[in-house]
Structures are given as C-alpha cells and as structure tokens.
Amino acid sequence: MTGAILFAIAIAALLLAVAVWVVVARTAFTATVGFIVYGLLLALVWVALSAVDVALTEAAIGSGVTGMLLLGAAAQLRATEANVESTSLPLKLSAGILCVLVSGGLAAVMLDPPAVAPTLAPEATAKLSATGLGNPVAGVLFAYRALDTLLEKVVVVLALIGVWSLTPDRAWGGVPGLRLYARPSGTLTLLAQVLPPVGIMLGIYMFWTGADNPGGAFQGGALLAAMWLLVMVARLQPVPPTSLGRLRLLVTIGPFIFLTIGFAGFALAGSFLAYPIDYAKPLIVVAETGLTLSIGVTLALLVAGPAERSA
C-alpha cells in the first residue's frame, strides 16, 4: 500500500503547487499554461480514482480544445492587459478566505464519509444488460439520463450561437478569426499531415469503444475537433466561412438525430427517449455517431471564434 499512498501524496502536492502557480501568475498567458498543466495532472488523478471516462474527457478537452481556446483568448487580450487595474487587497483576501472555507467544508465531508456511501452505482450496473451496453457510464448517459445528454448537446450548439453572435454586422457569415501560423515551417506541415490521420482513427475508435469500455461520443468528438484545428492552424485547409451550409448541417445533425430517436420513442416504446428492448444498442450507436460528428465540428468552431471578415 505504500506505493499508492506515496503516489497520492505526490500528485496532491503537485496539484496544489500548480494551482497556486495559476492563481499568482502575472499574465493571462502564464496562467493559461498553468491551467493546461493542471488539467493534465487532473487527468492522472481521475485515472487514480478509476474514473477513466472522466480522465479521457479531461485530457481531450483540457489540454486539447479548451487549451487552444484559452491561449488564443490570452493572445487577443495581450494588448490591453497592461492597463487592467489589479483587484484590491481586501477583495483578494475575502476571495481567499471564501475558497478556504469551501475547501474545508468539502474536505470535512470527504474525510468523514457516511458508513454506507449513498450511490446508485450497483443498481445502475445491475440493469445495464437490458440496454446491451457494457460501459455503465454510457448506460447513464444514453439510457438512464438520456434527456440530460440531449439537453447538453443542444447547449453546446447554443454556446456556438452565442460565440457567433459576437460577430460584427458587416462580417456576418464570414470566416472566423482563428489565429493561424503566418508561414508554417516544413516541420509544422509534416506534423499536421501525420498526426491527424492517427488522431481521427483514435477518435473514431474512442467513440466506438465507448459502448463497452471507457470512451464515448464526447471524447472522440473532442479529439476530432483538435485534429481539425491542427490542420487549419497549419494552413493545410482554409478556415471555412460560418455561412457554409454543410458546416451548419454538421453542427446540427447530431442533436437532430438524437431528437428524432427521442420522438420515435413515443411510437416504438411508449415515451420520449424510450428505446424498444432489442434495438436499444443500435439506436444508441446511431445517436452517438451523429453526436461525435457534431461535437467535433462544434468544438472546433467554438475555438475558431466569431467571424471577423466577410467570406
């Protein structure tokens, strides 16, 4: 057991140190780099806690998509950063005290758990065979709480609409202002040619294996988004204008298929998002296929940002 304790202490200490670094960093860029490092370490923590699906999502979103998004945002803010007044000391102290109180409360709950942990996990795994899935997380996402998953996917599309609403009027429908490399070197071009095929295969594999092993549509989609961003940033493919019909179709097709399956549930199995007994797994796989595509395209467009020049 000593190995496990040693590792737990090491990673907890490192996480705390990195968190302090993120808070005291002086520029947004440094804080963002710290945040990406924090995300990677957190992925290790999730694995140590046996939550592999969460670890996959943390790595794909934190170091992949959100990392690039925040770095781009920090770059855009750099011009005005020097003029921002820093917050006053009493405000910083009160924020610090509030954080300590919340952390203390959480620690008190975690370090003194009730004798029987309140959890639905045993019942969730017991009923899983009816859905044909092997991964309990997929069961929760697509069978027990499918409505939540549907709403989440719609929220992602709404987020994209929110980002697009920042477009100036003259540029509506135009090309997003994703910062690209001015003159990509041979190495960068090689990287952007070699990695995406591997990444796309891995993304499809992660979505496909999500039915029975850790993985799923979100993780696969996030990896696809990262690979598409890589290709665009290295100037191997142009950034598409936001008015492109095919683009908008890809963004909406996932939620649309899922919604259709949901309404078909009225006819086939009696209520919204209910699955007929033997067709549960194929329907879920069809829904996940559409969702992987949509999530990939939508996340990449979220990073690309609002249109900045007309097409």
B/e letters for 117-135, b = 16+ CB within 10 Å, e = fewer, are eeeeeeeeeeebeebbbeb
Handedness of CA 172, 174, 176, 177 (dihedral sign): negative
Closer residue to another protein (CB): 67 or 255: 67
29 touching another protein, by CB under 8 A = yes
Minimum separation from the CB atom of position 277 to another protein (A): 28
CB-nearer residue toward another protein: 176 or 265? 176
Q: Which residues pair with 175 in a beta bridge?
A: 309
Q: In this chain, which of 35, 72, 133, 302 binds another protein, going by CB under 8 A?
A: 72
Distance separating alpha carbons of residues 178 and 244, to the nearest angstrom: 16
Strand partners, 309: 175
For another protein, the binding residues in 205-244 under the rule CB under 8 A are: 206, 209, 213-215, 219, 223, 226-227, 230, 233-234, 239
Please give the residues from 76 up to 105 whose contact with another protein meets the rule CB under 8 A. Answer: 78
Q: Is 17 in the site for another protein (CB under 8 A)?
A: yes
**Main-chain phi, psi angles of 128, to 5 degrees:** -65, -30
Is the Cβ of residue 3 or residue 113 nearer to another protein in the bound state? Answer: 3
Total residues in contact with another protein, by rule CB under 8 A? 71
Pattern 146-185, another protein, x by CB under 8 A:
-----------------------------x-xxxxxxx-x
List the one residue out of 180, 159, 188 whose CA is nearest residue 66.
159
Residue type, 185: S
CB proximity list for 300: less than 8 A, separation 6 or greater: 65, 224, 225, 226, 228, 229, 232
Q: How far is the CB of 264 from another protein (least distance, A)?
A: 32
Q: Distance between terminal CA atoms of the chain?
A: 61
Residue 308 phi, psi dihedral angles, 5° rounding? -120, -20
The 240-279 site mask, x for binding another protein (CB under 8 A), equals ----------------------------------------
Among 31, 52, 124, 204, binds another protein (CB under 8 A): 52
Residue 191 interacts with another protein (CB under 8 A): yes or no: yes
Nearest distance from C-beta of residue 11 to another protein, angstroms: 6
> Which residues, in sequence order, are CB contacts of 239 under 8 Å at separation 6+?
175, 176, 178, 180, 232, 304
150 vs 227, beta carbon nearer another protein: 227
Beta bridge partners of 176: 307
Nearer residue to another protein within complex by CB, 18 or 133: 18
If the CB atoms of residues 203 and 265 are measured against another protein, the closer one turns out to be 203
Q: Which stretch binds another protein (CB under 8 A): 42-50, 162-170, 241-249, 284-292?
A: 42-50
CB of 161 to another protein, least distance (A): 22
**What's the rounded Cα separation, in Å, for the pair 50 and 55?**
9
Cβ neighbours of residue 103 closer than 8 Å, sequence gap 6 or more:
none
Which two tokens mark 85?
A: 């007044």
Residue of 31, 40, 159, 259 that binds another protein (CB under 8 A): 40
